[in-house]
Chains A and B, each alone.
Chain A
Amino acid sequence: MELMGIIFSNIYDEHLGEVTKQRTLASLPFGGRYRLIDFVLSNMVNSEITNVGVITKSNYQSLMDHLGKGKEWDLDRKIDGLFILPPFGTGQKTVYRDKIEALWGAKRYLERSNEEYVLMSDSNIICSIDYTEVLKQHILAKADITMVTRKEEIKDKSNIKGIAVKTNTRRRVTDVLVNYNRPGIEQCGMGMYLLKRKLLLELLEEANSYNLLDFDRDIIQAKHKKLKIMVWEHKGTALRIDSTQSYFEANMALLDKEVRDAVFRGEGFVYTKVRDEVPTYYGRKSEVENCLIADGCRIEGRAENCVLFRGVTVAEGAAVKNSILMQDTHVGKDVSLDYIITDKEVEITDGRMLMGAPQHQIIINKGKIV
């Protein structure tokens, strides 16, 4: 056991508005039957990581409910396993403000662990990565920190709190740009860092004594000359979720077979919580095209270019297009939906017509009856 994992569950919550109002970003439903955290957690498990700490901040009930004891990821173990790390409050400081403080709160967990290396990751990127390859390169290059990056096109006015790096030919980081949003193609950080556990603790100790908060700015940027920071470039598919628009687009991207295969049939299985659903029933008059459909649905009407989560029903005469319907959404008779995102347990009553737009989907909050 050389490598342990740390997952940040809340880092980008504020960018997604309504859908993360009542849950962590990590527990945001995605792809019909998953939550965002399933992807990074499955990557870790598929990379033989058996000690994973999940750092939480607020609204983490849904995340706790989803993860349970980690059974579905085979992380319910006698030795190591899954640890949920709620904010560790001392005195006035109850909730952390940024990554460094968050890690500081998990200091005792880090100290108690035995693995030599730590892989830290955000939970907002959908991809399939074998972290043992990252570790191999890290050791071979004698790096202090290895960051996972990907060549990405930065679009105008991207609201991503991103980090872009310049490297020399041997992939060593020579310059670091934080909050970078000038349009162009850059080597962008994927929020995944691999380093020695002892080094992380030292860096945290030092940062804490200077009251520093931002891991990207105060450690990666400030120390990139002193430390040997290397990049490991992920060349495969990756879907970054940092806004409602990118959330919608990432779901829709799964309708493409290549993307699906890259995400679901990459380095290993993607695991998630079991819900004991029946197979989906397609009625005699149903018409379904270009849809990703989970178990437990009942479709009597029409669905086109949609992602339907577990337990969704679409009644006769209804037509749902370009939409994402989360778990247990019920669509009534003769309803028409276009560019709609419904949160869990939404009910659309008979005959309603709701239309969003390709660049602006309408989000219907959890449990609402329309």
Chain B
Amino acid sequence: MKMQKKKKCIAMLLAGGQGSRLGVLTKNIAKPAVPFGGKYRIIDFTLSNCVNSGIDTVGVLTQYKPMELNEYIGNGQPWGLDRNSGGVHILQPFTKIKSKEWYKGTANAIYQNELFIEQYEPTHVLVLSGDHIYKMDYAKMLAEHENNHADCTIAVIDVPLSEASRFGIMNTREDGSIYEFEEKPKEPKSTKASMGVYIFRWDVMKKYLEQDSKDENSDNDFGKNIIPAMLSDGCNMHAYAFGGYWKDVGTIESLWEANMDLLSGDSALSLEDNELKVYARNYDCPPTYIFEGAKISGAMITKGCEIKGCVENSIISSECIIGEGAVIKNSVLFPGTVVEQNAEVNFAILGTGVHIGEGAKVGETDFSAAEKKKQKITVLGSRFLLEANGAVQAGEMLEAQS
């Protein structure tokens, strides 16, 4: 019996990475589940992109600390992915008759879920990462992929030449076809960086996944193994140039910057734009209340907060409480953070449920000195408790005592 409708294109979202460079922020949750922009999680962007591109079948491959991410995704209803046919599916590593193994690499993770993909008989498979912030219509990329009769299309973004050696760089001919791929080249020949967004023809991909799985020396990774193998075999591979905002938020610095980009106004990442809207799971709380005497300037504040103090150039997630006389500048507060009166926070990321005691100081709080140079970001892990008048130095990263 056939259980599923045939699909033209399904998405496989890689969400299993530990995100170790985010330190205490990913101590108990997978990177895609890290809060972003006041009311979102990082994964909301890719999930919403799928929905906005007409892709209604998404397999989410999880491995590292998946509980919160699984619960967050749930049945996919917030993204309209609770479907009779297709929808969102969490794909955890599972035991087989002869082997019990984890996902070894990105390609291996997809290969282990071959049966999941097969049941939809897709023509194409879109491979995504769950840790990038961008709004993109994959349907346009898919159309180009089909026009080119490509075996594989890789989305690329133009990066400054000076930074190109941090990325996987695609060297292309005039027609956009790829002749070479270089992972973090010392002397980059182009500025077309891979965004970690691939569309493969499923029959071709399947062949290479099977081949790769037999190679014991392989890292089972798309970038390191599958793409080079396809290139050397002369597969028809194209680069798809994406012109919008894209950011890998794999480090504290970039996570902070991407949040600040929401406030800059001239950022290409507009959340208010109804085209390619970003959806998130909704939690019920009342509107935010701004007390008399509060001062807010250039800030984003989500519902459920109570603000008495001063908030400047910051992102405040839902249900935060900012006490009288408290000053929050250039910072990102995750949900449920409490900053008591007269406390000061500057250039910081405060994790979920962090509590900053009265008069405490986090980061460089000599504000006039701090304006002059870019500061190191201070990070406090979820439920960190800073006692009254306590202090955390700029650039420190601390986790809650268990």
Q: Which of B78, B277, B285, B294 contacts A288 (CB 8 A)?
A: B294
CB distance from B51 to the nearest CB of A (A): 11
- Is A276 touching B37 in the complex (CB atoms < 8 A)? no
- Is A289 touching B289 in the complex (CB atoms < 8 A)? no
With CB as the reference atom, state the residue of chain B lying closest to A273: B282
- Is A270 touching B38 in the complex (CB atoms < 8 A)? no
Bits for A252-281, please: 1 = Cβ < 8 Å to B, else 0.
000101001001100001111010101111
- In this complex, the interface size class of chain A, counting residues with CB under 8 Å from chain B, is 35 or more
- Is B284 touching A291 in the complex (CB atoms < 8 A)? no
CB distance from B40 to the nearest CB of A (A): 9
Report the separation of the CA atoms of residues A255 and B316 in the bound assembly, to the nearest whole angstrom: 20
A350 contacts B by Cβ under 8 Å: no
- Is B289 touching A294 in the complex (CB atoms < 8 A)? no
- Is A32 touching B286 in the complex (CB atoms < 8 A)? yes
Listed stretches B13-21, B109-117, B170-178, B300-308; interface member? B300-308
- Point out which of B39, B282, B290, B298 has the most chain A C-beta atoms below 10 A from its C-beta: B290
Report the separation of the CA atoms of residues A170 and B284 in the bound assembly, to the nearest whole angstrom: 39
B53 contacts A by Cβ under 8 Å: no
CB distance from A256 to the nearest CB of B (A): 10
- Is B302 touching A290 in the complex (CB atoms < 8 A)? no
Residues of chain B contacted by A290 (CB below 8 angstroms): 290-292
Main secondary structure of the interface of B (DSSP, over half): loop
Q: Which of A257, A271, A282 contacts B284 (CB 8 A)?
A: A271
B287 contacts A by Cβ under 8 Å: yes
A298 contacts B by Cβ under 8 Å: yes
Residues of chain A contacted by B263 (CB below 8 angstroms): 281
Residues of chain B contacted by A307 (CB below 8 angstroms): 287
With CB as the reference atom, state the residue of chain B lying closest to A32: B287
Answer whether A288 and B303 are a contact pair too, CB < 8 Å, given A278-B39, A278-B272, A282-B297.
Answer: no
- Is B280 touching A276 in the complex (CB atoms < 8 A)? yes
Residues of chain A contacted by B302 (CB below 8 angstroms): 279-280, 295
Residues of chain A contacted by B204 (CB below 8 angstroms): none
Report the separation of the CA atoms of residues A191 and B188 in the bound assembly, to the nearest whole angstrom: 74
- Is A282 touching B301 in the complex (CB atoms < 8 A)? yes
Please report the total number of B residues contacting A with Cβ < 8 Å: 38
Q: Which of B278, B284, B287, B303 contacts A269 (CB 8 A)?
A: B284
Report the separation of the CA atoms of residues A307 and B286 in the bound assembly, to the nearest whole angstrom: 12
B288 contacts A by Cβ under 8 Å: yes
- Is B284 touching A279 in the complex (CB atoms < 8 A)? no
With CB as the reference atom, state the residue of chain A lying closest to B293: A289
Residues of chain B contacted by A272 (CB below 8 angstroms): 284
Residues of chain A contacted by B271 (CB below 8 angstroms): 278
Q: Which of A31, A279, A289 contacts B37 (CB 8 A)?
A: A279
Residues of chain B contacted by A276 (CB below 8 angstroms): 277-280, 282
- Is A284 touching B287 in the complex (CB atoms < 8 A)? no
Which residues of B224-274 are within 8 A (CB) of A? 263, 271-272
Residues of chain A contacted by B293 (CB below 8 angstroms): 289
B296 contacts A by Cβ under 8 Å: yes
CB distance from B326 to the nearest CB of A (A): 16
B299 contacts A by Cβ under 8 Å: yes
- Is A279 touching B287 in the complex (CB atoms < 8 A)? no
CB distance from B48 to the nearest CB of A (A): 9
A99 contacts B by Cβ under 8 Å: no
With CB as the reference atom, state the residue of chain A lying closest to B271: A278
A33 contacts B by Cβ under 8 Å: yes
CB distance from A68 to the nearest CB of B (A): 12
Report the separation of the CA atoms of residues A308 and B288 in the bound assembly, to the nearest whole angstrom: 10
Which residues of A44-92 are within 8 A (CB) of B? 71
- Is A289 touching B39 in the complex (CB atoms < 8 A)? no
- Is B39 touching A291 in the complex (CB atoms < 8 A)? no
Residues of chain A contacted by B77 (CB below 8 angstroms): 71
Answer whether A31 and B286 are a contact pair too, CB < 8 Å, given A285-B297, A289-B294.
Answer: yes
B315 contacts A by Cβ under 8 Å: yes
- Is B301 touching A280 in the complex (CB atoms < 8 A)? yes
- Is B303 touching A295 in the complex (CB atoms < 8 A)? yes
Report the separation of the CA atoms of residues A289 and B310 in the bound assembly, to the nearest whole angstrom: 12
Residues of chain A contacted by B291 (CB below 8 angstroms): 289-290
Answer whether A279 and B300 are a contact pair too, CB < 8 Å, given A255-B289, A264-B286.
Answer: yes
A293 contacts B by Cβ under 8 Å: yes
Residues of chain A contacted by B295 (CB below 8 angstroms): 287
Bits for B34-74, please: 1 = Cβ < 8 Å to A, else 0.
00011100000000000000000000000000000000000
- Is A33 touching B287 in the complex (CB atoms < 8 A)? yes
CB distance from A86 to the nearest CB of B (A): 27
CB distance from B384 to the nearest CB of A (A): 23
Answer whether A279 and B290 are a contact pair too, CB < 8 Å, given A284-B297, A286-B296, A288-B296.
Answer: no
Report the separation of the CA atoms of residues A291 and B263 in the bound assembly, to the nearest whole angstrom: 22
Q: Which of A31, A264, A283 contacts B297 (CB 8 A)?
A: A283
- Is B284 touching A288 in the complex (CB atoms < 8 A)? no
User: Please, could you name 17 A-B residue pairs with CB atoms under 8 Å apart, sorted by A?
Assistant: A270-B286, A274-B282, A276-B278, A279-B300, A280-B300, A284-B297, A286-B297, A289-B290, A289-B293, A292-B287, A293-B287, A293-B288, A294-B287, A295-B39, A296-B272, A307-B287, A308-B287
Q: Which residues of A contact B (CB under 8 A)?
A: 31-33, 71, 255, 257, 260, 263-264, 269-272, 274, 276, 278-296, 298, 307-308
Can you list the 9 inter-chain pairs with the closest CB atoms, starting with the nearest?
Answer: A32-B287, A279-B38, A279-B302, A264-B286, A278-B271, A282-B296, A269-B284, A294-B287, A274-B282
Q: A257-B289, A276-B280 are in contact. List 19 more A-B contacts (CB 8 A).
A: A33-B303, A71-B77, A260-B286, A271-B284, A279-B38, A279-B39, A279-B316, A280-B300, A280-B301, A280-B302, A282-B299, A288-B290, A288-B294, A289-B292, A290-B292, A291-B289, A293-B289, A294-B287, A308-B287
